[in-house]
Structure 1
Amino acid sequence: MALPDLFNDYTLRTVALGAAALGATSGALGSYAVLRKQSLLGDAISHAALPGIALAFLLTGSKAPLVLVLGAAAAGWLGTLLVMRVVNATRVKEDSALGIVLSVFFGFGLVLLTYIQKRPDASQAGLDRFLFGQAATLLHRDVLMIASLGGIALLVAALFWKEFKLLSFDPDFAASLGFSVRGLDVLLTSVLVLSIVIGLQTVGVVLMSAMVVAPAAAARQWTDRMGTMVVLAGAFGALAGVSGAVISSLAQHVPTGPTIVLCLTVLVLVSLAFAPNRGLLWEAVRQARNRRQLHMHAVLRDLHALAVQHGGQEHVHASAVLEAMHPGARHELTALAERGWARRTGADGWSITPSGRSEMERREGRDEESAS
């Protein structure tokens, strides 16, 4: 029932398209924030944008989404520049500066919203949705605005792909090549600000940082290439946006914005668990395999040592002796026999094979080379 509704229901289709456009933009551009270890930047920008929304309404008297978004962008950009200025001009660390700007701007925004609410000639209705988001209220023009501004942000990132990539990994090298690191930093931050403020109406100030960080964090688990990471992060963001819109439409009184963030959480958890190179599950499998390999070679080493002590490799040793030296050695002996490094003799005896002795001599020679 959900899939036909996605294509036939105008409201659901509009919300899903807007959430997908937002997720793709914030996810792709959020990769830069994650790689530069500026994950808190999205939280600071989204909170700093709140007074800009209120001031835009006070100055223009308009609740048009584009007007409010431009006000949010101006305030978010100003807050980010203030963070950069504090970090460069003082001894305050970046995380502390982000926390200060976030709290001050957000508090100022709440004061302005309270003032607007008490004005006799204005209503706060329509502004409070920027706090927690109301994706269900998205209209066709809102989707066009999100897609247009998001497209501009992605276009700038594509045009400055090499410069932003260099800035993310080695800003000192970028400066040595003659690039204006500060100028590139401001431009990249401006693009991030734009990608964040377009989503405030959908998921709100409180949850927007998750739209920036979560898709990129999930994508980072699957790849070591930045280009692939950016594409994957955009895809994860779009997938979460559509999934959240569809899931929230299936139940009453389930808000779309938080549902999108929950879908992102699932993607992050799946990536953390199952990604081939960094997944916790595969890491546990690799560690268990390595432990088995180490234990198996330890048993082989003892077989070889016992054979040397008894003057020949054909000497048979009881499995109970090997079990006393290595608890659980029966499994390793079976594995050694499968590789042709050990041979079972009689009901309960084991001996090392010529192949096993050659393997031990090879490993000992390699260890001596490493030590020297």
Structure 2
Amino acid sequence: MEDFVYFFSFQDPNVAMVVAGITLLSISAAMVGTFTFLDKKALLGDAISHAVLPGVCLAFMFAGSKNPYWIVLGAFITGAISTYAIEWISNSTKLKEDTVIAAVLSVFFGIGILLLTQLQQTGDAALSGLDHFLFGNAISIVYEDLMVYGILALLVIICILVFYKEFKLIIFNPSFAESVGLPVKRLKLLFNTLLVMAVVTGIQAIGVVLMAALLITPPAAARFWSNRLHVILMLAVLFAVLSGIAGAFISFAVPHMPTGPWVVMAISFIAFASFFFAGKKGILSKWYNQRNYQQKIHRDHILKSLFQALEKNSKTLEKDEIMEYFPGKEKLTRTYISKLEQENKIELEGEKLKLTPSGLVEAKRVVRLHRLWELYLAQYLNLAPDHVHDMAEKMEHLLTPELEAKLDASLDYPTQDPHHSKIPRDNDL
């Protein structure tokens, strides 16, 4: 608890620098990652994050120290080379892009591990902490690092905001972008450059191995909450910042704990929570909506059965007769009979069921929708009358009153369905 209070009180300037740095790089990574994710280029970010490792090692060999300027330059060069290599090989061969990405990632990361191993065997004291670039260590950020990585992250953020409309257009409709005169190739080159820069800004705090998670997981989680780009972008930034600060805090509170894995753990928790609990697209939400829909279907079919009995001059049906309509679902049917009785849609007379006035209105609507759909399918899709029942059974539960009115009007307010059954109206019976 003391660590928590101390960390978030920002009394220590080093802690303030860490929070500022992790916030900036999280925002830049989430913003670039959102466009990368929506453009279905998630693997490209992973390849770049692994490809910067040899650049880090070569920069150290050249500079002889962990100078952030040289580290950034080296990482940017090898990241850019990997991006160009992927594009060139994909365009020049028949290999699929995911195959090319996997090959380039493996080659660059393998070279990086060889160089890192070779450097570690030299016993140079200046190498202390170089392995942090694999899994990240946000607490090791100093003022000079903050200036370099922070300015890069800020530059990425500004460019995304300035070219927001252009990037949106080339991702969702590149053909239209070309037709209106946008320099699509240059914009793609700019975006790839920003992607490399976003990866480079996180190599010290998050690490080259896990940086791809901060790029892709936040927008993937945000996608479950909305279909609108600006909402996805804002949520992705929020998720990335929360997970970045959480990972930095754990690195601060637990000695020798790398930042990257805990950032991934935090963002994974947010992602799984989104996968399960998101409003309309979450797994539990879908299950709940599907369950309600199945319940509505069963409920409507009970009302429809009673109305069809009424059409045959039988105002009531025995419970056992209702059960015959739903073989194998006796228990469920009894449950919904009780619910319909509680809603005052049906009433019981001993073992007999009867529609109430409000139940009759609702039953008419269900039957009317079914028969309107049968007629529509027969007239407009030229389906045989004996082929339309099953399709109408599925569609009758989906129409809103507005769509019902349009469907009725388009059929010129018919009185019979393809089977010559009467289409009930509110003033009938």
Using the size of structure 1 for normalisation, the TM-score is 0.92
CA contact (8 A) 2:53 2:75 kept: yes
Shift of 1:122: 7.4
CA contact (8 A) 1:24 1:236 kept: no
C-alpha RMSD over aligned residues? 2.1
Structure 2 partner of 1:362: 368
Using the size of structure 2 for normalisation, the TM-score is 0.80
Matches within 5 A, 1:92-131: 92-119=95-122, 123-131=126-134
Which residue, 302, 305, 308 being the options, matches 1:302? 305
Matches within 5 A, 1:206-355: 206-309=209-312, 311-312=313-314, 314=315, 316-326=316-326, 327=330, 328-337=332-341, 341=345, 343-353=346-356, 354-355=360-361
Shift of 1:32: 0.9
Distance 1:271 1:345 in 2: 45
CA contact (8 A) 1:20 1:241 kept: yes
CA contact (8 A) 2:247 2:266 kept: yes
Shift of 1:152: 0.3
Shift of 1:345: 3.2
Larger helix share, 1 or 2: 1
CA contact (8 A) 1:132 1:206 kept: yes
Shift of 1:11: 4.0
CA contact (8 A) 2:34 2:232 kept: yes
1:201 matched to 2:204: yes
Shift of 1:247: 3.5
Deviations 1:65-114 (A, max 9, x none): 22201210111011101101111111111111111111111111222223
Which residue, 2, 5, 15 being the options, matches 1:3? 5
Shift of 1:369: 4.2
Shift of 1:338: 5.1
Distance 2:74 2:23 in 1: 23
CA contact (8 A) 1:218 1:233 kept: yes
CA contact (8 A) 1:19 1:245 kept: yes
Unaligned runs of 5+ in 1: none
CA contact (8 A) 1:22 1:237 kept: no
Could you say what secondary structure the match of 2:354 adopts? Answer: strand
Structure 1 partner of 2:57: 54
Which residue, 145, 148, 152 being the options, matches 2:148? 145
CA contact (8 A) 1:83 1:97 kept: yes
Which has the higher Rg, Structure 1 or Structure 2? Answer: 2
Distance 1:181 1:236 in 2: 30
Q: CA separation of 1:323/1:151 partners in 2, compared to 1, >3 Å: closer, same or farther? A: same
Shift of 1:252: 4.4
CA contact (8 A) 1:12 1:246 kept: no
Distance 1:331 1:121 in 2: 76
Distance 1:120 1:255 in 2: 22
Q: CA separation of 1:80/1:346 partners in 2, compared to 1, >3 Å: closer, same or farther? A: same
CA contact (8 A) 1:18 1:146 kept: yes
Deviations 1:326-369 (A, max 9, x none): 3221222234345554x213232212343244224422343234
Unaligned runs of 5+ in 2: 380-429
Could you say what secondary structure the match of 1:203 adopts? Answer: coil
Percentage of pairs with the same residue: 34
Matched to 1:336, the amino acid is L
Shift of 1:210: 0.4
Matched to 2:365, the amino acid is E
Q: CA separation of 1:194/1:356 partners in 2, compared to 1, >3 Å: closer, same or farther? A: closer
